[in-house]
Amino acid sequence: MKTTTPECGRSSPNRYLLTWSLVTNWRRLTADYDDGDPRLAALKPVQGMKAITLILIMMAHSVLSYYTTYLHNPHFLEKAGHHLLSSYFQNGSCIVHTFIMVSNFLLAYNILLHSDANPKKQLGLRILPQVLMHRIVRITPVYLFVLGVATTWWSHFGDGPMWSPLIEGECHRCREKWWAQLLYINNFYRPDFKCLIHTWFLAVDMQLYVVCAMLVLALGRRPKLALRVLATLLACSVLANLAIIVNWQLRPMVTLMFPEYMRLQFEGEPSFKWLYSAPWDSLPAALIGLFVAFLHFTLQKSGCKPDQYLVIRILYRVTIPLMFLWVLSGFWMKRASAPWLVWLYASLDRPVFISLTAFAMFCFFNKVDSLVWRFLSWRGWEILGRMSLSVYLLHWLYALTQLALRAHASPASLHEIGGHWLWTIFVTYFTAVPLHLLVELPMQKFLQTLLS
């Protein structure tokens, strides 16, 4: 669609209508920005990290959905929980914090690059509303759409003996607290009354985004000072979490991964409400993301090349194996009886894992391992990563719907759960494409254009 522009004597696209162009949005989704700012091009592995992390989250939620339904052989899941490799499901919840870390890294790094390119525009809290509005516009429209579907149409998509307990109950909860979801306070308002359990992340992410945006705007003009301040705040946040855990007698998530808890989606469990889905538990991950952003920016400004240091290359080689070993260590924590050990692990579990992940990400950006950089920078990951929000919002609906449509108790096996996971991946991405192109991108770009 075009409108006439008299002063130039030719037709020019209407920028408001152009945001709704399917062709334009498809080009945005599939575009390659290699010819842009090389500092931003170096961040291409982020999309690969997001896509792979999301696929693993879908696997974990496929397993969780089996715990919430009626099973033909429930003993399978009970026995599987005692296997060593089950720790990657039971203790893998820390991988969600990768999104928190990456989100706040990108927040800080983009602001620092913008400030560097526009030195006359001083950073300050006066632009905080603009920064927050950018985030709200980015997330809320597509979130509202999916929440609307879950609240209204979802309950009419099927029927059967499993439909009422799995789907209609979820829809009822969403009708009761949809407003809390949109205000991003659903993790505080009636936290046991869960509407789309996975959306706790969006609430925590938005809450921490406000805090981290204030920190970046306050510290952005002095990056070296920011590193010291952020390191101090990180240590304080870990100690504060330890104090909360001890005072409220909370436990790490790995100790809650039993059928009786998962079947009810951790209803009534204080550790899920006041630790796992609380913003203070994710605060260390957010601060680590800010710290890495300031460190990466400072080293770039000084001309330092981390990939040239032998110690960095050695540490990188051991970091990824340590990530897997750290998650695996949760297997032994399930049997820990000493309270001090449980409290210490609960306070350090996520900060340690995210520190390892952040260091690996820092090495990816600096091409310490060019092979992994090329793998994570694959165009396919880039496209899948850009749809992460739509995929994240949709996948739980499909995970439950598959089981709810069955007219009999579900058999549980590696083959059944694996097939459920692969089907969830396929149908989620298949429908995320039109959701991204027809709802997420148009609304995001239209509102950004309108507000600009």
**Nearest-angstrom CA–CA distance, 123 and 218:** 7
- Residue 11 pLDDT: 62
**Nearest-angstrom CA–CA distance, 139 and 54:** 17
Q: Give the mean pLDDT of the chain.
A: 92
Q: Are 120 and 304 in contact (CB under 8 A)?
A: no
**Nearest-angstrom CA–CA distance, 68 and 396:** 12
Q: How confident is the model at residue 28 (pLDDT cuts 50, 70, 90)?
A: very high
Helix (H, G, I), strand (E, B) or coil at 83: coil
Render pLDDT for 397-452 as a digit per residue (tens, 0 to 9): 999 999 999 989 999 999 999 999 999 999 999 999 999 999 999 999 999 888 87
- Residue 3 pLDDT: 43
Q: Are 416 and 75 in contact (CB under 8 A)?
A: no
- Inter-helix orientation angle 97-117/200-219, to 10°: 30
Q: Which residues make Cβ contacts (< 8 Å) with residue 167, sequence separation at least 6?
A: 154, 155, 157, 158, 400, 401, 404
Q: Up-side HSE of residue 240: CA atoms within 13 Å toward CB?
A: 13
pLDDT at 298 over 90: yes
- Residue 332 pLDDT: 87
SS3 content of the chain, % helix, strand, coil (to 5): 75, 0, 20
pLDDT at 126 over 70: yes
**Nearest-angstrom CA–CA distance, 189 and 45:** 36
Start-to-end CA distance of the chain, whole Å, equals 21
Average pLDDT, integer, range 360-377: 94
Number of H helices, E strands in the chain: 23, 2
Average pLDDT, integer, range 245-268: 91
Q: Up-side HSE of residue 334: CA atoms within 13 Å toward CB?
A: 19
**Nearest-angstrom CA–CA distance, 433 and 204:** 26
- Residue 258 pLDDT: 87
Render pLDDT for 40-62 as a digit per residue (tens, 0 to 9): 888 999 999 999 999 999 999 99
- The pTM for the full model equals 0.93
- Residue 252 pLDDT: 93
Burial letters for 405-442: b for 16+ Cβ neighbours within 10 Å, e otherwise?
A: ebeeebebeeebbeebbeebbebbbebbeebbbebbbb
**Nearest-angstrom CA–CA distance, 396 and 434:** 18
Helix (H) or strand (E) holding 421: helix 414-435
Q: What is the DSSP letter of 409?
A: P
Q: Which residue has the tokens 């059928």?
A: 259
Render pLDDT for 338-364 as a digit per residue (tens, 0 to 9): 999 999 999 999 999 999 999 999 999
